[in-house]
Amino acid sequence: MNNEQKTIELGLQARELLASEAVREAFARMEEEQLRIIRWSAPENTQEREAAYLLLRSHRLLQEQFDVMINRGKRAEANLPQAEPTTKATRKKR
């Protein structure tokens, strides 16, 4: 498998993964929980907020990487040479 094929395959896998309702729900729940911690933690709990922020940032970076894979896969697929038309079928003479 060459690099372009691998890029296309990774893009397709990332697209399929993000299409999963379970994965989308897990991402939403993770983000919601970290935002809840940031918003509602006591003012003196700076370490808890910092940890939540880092998890939230990591989550967003992961999503960005999936988006990058998807976009690179689409570009690689668009750059593939179009298949040459097969030779014209010839009729058999009777």
CA angle, residues 15, 17, 70, in degrees to nearest 5 = 25
Distance CA 39, CA 76 (A): 42
For residue 1, what pLDDT is reported?
Answer: 80
Domain contains 90: no
Which pair of tokens denotes residue 34?
Answer: 């970290």
Q: Tell me the residue range of the domain where 26 lies.
A: 3-77
Q: Place 40 in a pLDDT band, splitting at 50, 70 and 90.
A: very high
10 touches 69 (CB < 8 A): yes
pLDDT of residue 66: 96
pLDDT (mean) for 44-55: 97
Residue 83 lies in a domain: no
Chain centre distance of CA 63:
6
Structural contact between residues 24 and 62, judged by C-beta atoms closer than 8 angstroms: no
Q: Is the pTM of this model over 0.85?
A: no
Look at the chain and report how many structural domains it folds into: 1
